Amino acid sequence: MCGIVGYIGDKQAAPILLDGLSKLEYRGYDSAGIAVFDGSRIIMEKVMGRLKVLDELTEGGKTMPGISGIGHTRWATHGSPSDTNAHPHFNKEHSIVVVHNGIIENYSKLKKKLERKGYEFVSETDTEVLVHLLTEYYDGNPVAAIEKVMRRVEGSYALGIMFKDHPHHIYAARKDSPLIVGQSSMGNLIASDVPAILKYTRSVYYMENEEIVCLSKENIRFYNIDGEALVKEPVTIDWDIDAAEKGGYEHFMLKEIYEQPKAVRDTISPRLKNGEVVIEELGMTDEEIRHTRKIIIIACGSAYHAGVTGKYILEGMARIPVEVDLASEFRYRNPIYEEGTLAIIISQSGETADSLAALREARNHGVRVLGIVNVVGSSIAREADNVMYTWAGPEISVATTKAYSAQLAALYLLAMKFAKVRETITQEEFAELQKDLEKIPEQIEQLLGMKEKIQRFANRYLAADHMFFIGRGIDYAISLEGSLKLKEISYIHSEAYAAGELKHGTISLVEEGTLVVALATQEKVYSKTISNIVEVKTRGAFVMAVTNEGHEEIEKTADYVIYIPKTNAYFANSLAIIPLQLFAYYVSLGRGLDVDKPRNLAKSVTVE
């Protein structure tokens, strides 16, 4: 969702800005632009469409001389995608220019006031109020003007700003939208995310809410909203740029599907020690674990689907009541907080606006919050009481795969830890679980071997209009994720249904040839799911079943079957999701769609 890059140093800025923006393309965008100080004035180019249009227009940045600048990829919120609404935005005099991520919630009130003062708005964006407000407050001191603007606006923002009369500086500020600052020998940078600047530096400062930064070629100065200087420590990024490149794969999504054995292994292995699950970062004593009365899992999208699986596992294994909620619902639903509640926020990016707001809501009510987060140093990681990292590495494809798998692994570990401490499973059961858990990475590898088979099957469904995914219990949780993967990248309408619920209305949509993907990995409800398969078959559905090895008799009922290796029923999601991810990938590929950057979607959803 919108990307910002800024640079000031010895090199020509425009090619660095374009390169940085290309590393943020995964976030989703519909227009792009850059502004640079060319020695006497600020010049700007911005266009609707892909970054390559801007790249061509500026000949890779060559036509825009200058050693300082800011750039932006925009994901439209206020105002449709267009050249005019694209960022950066100038004031009338072209003396101040701004790029912005986030949403200014009180923009229409501010806009009316500014219009009364004679400011003319040329775009439909909320961002434009920022540049006019800066103009209103600017009296030669950029930091003071930025402070004043920050006090006037409500909402979220990461800002990159240039002032024509301060050509040797670029400025940035943030609230509830991510922004980092990079320090390098060739100059200093700002960006929405690490991949944009990793080519130039590993030394990064994470900006906190309501902080301002002023960058020159040699210096980086931080201020709080009162204009007081801050001392901040940089962190060193320890992963490599290769981790954020395609490495020979046609798409990031396929690469990330293939990285799942490693993501799961890296998440599990450091926490399995001498036959125990050791999660030091949980920060809870055994006593506190025993006294936990309720868990609330809160997340969005696929992370929420991992949470639905988590509910079945934590309740089943550790016998703790678990609520799962969508962050956008939780934050406004006035939940009942009981003593002994643990909130778990699951998020790949650690920046999802609704999840972050839910975290704050829970903490404000005195609830302890554990973050299960992939991006180190992200907002959720920093604001949670404790954070358990998923070690999936950078995930670039908009459709999550490896981070989701790592989230499942983290939840398995958590459930096993709670179950062991609360003595709801025996030592023998724990040992069995541990053995099965350790086997998951290699079983995923085995399933990846069936990619050609899945591709052939996917190619038969390229023209489908709608599909269903059904299952019971954990199989229902798998269905939710399988269905989302398919619809988000193939644009085929798809619904996930609890298999027993279909007949209460939705089965009327099943007709001759409708593809129904039936998950049947849970032995306890296997025969019930078979009955549901028969129900849809009777209405003409074509059924692809995903079940455990050893259930070959299912071939009498289902039309096409995928078998997953034997594992504990609690862990079936980690295996059954693999063919579903591959299926979604190959349907999208076969339909000629942009697999990694599906329309309308953003990788990091930093607005509510």
Put residue 47 in one of left, alpha, beta given phi > 0 → left and psi -120 to 50 → alpha.
beta
Q: Any catalytic annotation for residue 603?
A: yes
Residue closer to ligand F6R (CB basis): 31 or 400: 400
CB of 352 to ligand F6R, least distance (A): 3
Output the six-digit token pair for 403. 């981070």
Minimum CB–partner distance for residue 120 and ligand F6R (Å): 37
Is 102 among the residues that bind ligand F6R (CB under 6 A)?
no
399: contact with ligand F6R by CB under 6 A: yes
Spell out the SS3 assignment of 306-368. Answer: HHHHHHHHHHHHHCCCEEEEEHHHHCCCCCCCCCCEEEEEEECCCCCHHHHHHHHHHHHCCCE
Contact (CB, 8 A) for 467 and 516: yes
Residue among 300 and 595 whose Cβ is closer to ligand F6R: 300
**485 labelled catalytic:** no
As a whole number of angstroms, the distance between CA 126 and CA 89 comes to 11
The stretch near ligand F6R (CB under 6 A) out of 128-136, 308-316, 342-350, 585-593 is: 342-350
Tally of CB atoms within 10 A around 601 = 16
Binding mask 467-506 for ligand F6R (x = CB under 6 A): -----------------x---x------------------
Strands 386-389 and 368-373: parallel
Closer CB to ligand F6R, residue 302 or residue 573?
302
Q: Which of 142, 178, 182, 301 binds ligand F6R (CB under 6 A)?
A: 301
Q: Which of 23, 402, 420, 603 is catalytic?
A: 603
Q: Is 605 in the site for ligand F6R (CB under 6 A)?
A: yes
Residue tagged active-site, from 2, 111, 175, 487: 2
The interface region with ligand F6R, picked from 36-44, 66-74, 97-105, 344-352 by CB under 6 A, is: 344-352
Site for ligand F6R in 345-384 (CB under 6 A): 347-349, 352, 355
Q: What is the DSSP string of 456-478?
A: HHHHTTTT-SEEEEEESTHHHHH
- Among 91, 101, 302, 574, which residue interacts with ligand F6R (rule: CB under 6 A)? 302
How far is residue 142 CA from its own chain's centroid? 33
Least separation in angstroms between residue 346's CB and ligand F6R is: 7
CB of 354 to ligand F6R, least distance (A): 8
- Does residue 88 have a cis peptide bond before it, meaning omega lies within 30 degrees of 0? yes
For CA atoms 536, 538, 539, 543, the dihedral sign is positive
CB of 488 to ligand F6R, least distance (A): 6
Q: Compare residues 73 and 355 and give the one whose CB is closer to ligand F6R.
A: 355
Site stretch for ligand F6R (CB under 6 A), options 35-43, 68-76, 298-306, 427-435: 298-306
H or E element: which one contains 207?
none
Reduce the DSSP state of residue 565 to 3 states and report it.
coil
Torsion over CA of 431, 432, 434 and 440, rounded to 10 degrees? 170
Helix, strand and coil percent figures for the chain, each rounded to 5:
40, 25, 35
Tally DSSP H helices, then E strands, for the chain: 18, 27
Residues 369/359, Cβ–Cβ less than 8 Å:
yes
Q: 177 by DSSP, 3-state: which?
A: coil
- Closest contact distance (angstroms) between CB of 249 and ligand F6R is 17
Residue 443 identity? Q
Question: Least distance from C-beta 343 to ligand F6R, angstroms?
Answer: 15
Which of 73/328 has CB closer to ligand F6R?
328
Least distance in Å: CB of 333 to ligand F6R? Answer: 19
Distance between CA 193 and CA 198 in Å, rounded?
Answer: 9
Shorter beta-carbon distance to ligand F6R: residue 27 or 169? 27
Instruction: Confirm or reject binding of residue 440 to ligand F6R (CB under 6 A).
Output: no
The distance of closest approach from Cβ of residue 357 to ligand F6R in the complex, given in angstroms and rounded to an integer, is: 12
Residue nearest to ligand F6R (CB): 301
If one asks whether residue 156 binds ligand F6R (CB under 6 A), the answer comes out as: no
Does residue 400 interact with ligand F6R by CB under 6 A? Answer: yes
- Site size toward ligand F6R (CB under 6 A) is 15
The span from the CA of 594 to the CA of 17, in Å, is 23
Query: Token pair for residue 69?
Result: 């600048």
The span from the CA of 3 to the CA of 72, in Å, is: 5
- Cα end-to-end distance, the chain, whole Å: 12
- Sole binder of ligand F6R in the list 172, 297, 300, 486 (CB under 6 A): 300
State the sign of the Cα–Cα–Cα–Cα dihedral 430, 433, 437, 439. Answer: positive
Q: Is 585 helix (H, G, I), strand (E, B) or coil?
A: helix
The binding track of 546-585 with respect to ligand F6R, each residue x by CB under 6 A or -, is ----------------------------------------
Note the residues at the interface with ligand F6R (CB under 6 A): 300-303, 347-349, 352, 355, 399-400, 484, 488, 604-605
Residues designated catalytic: 2, 603
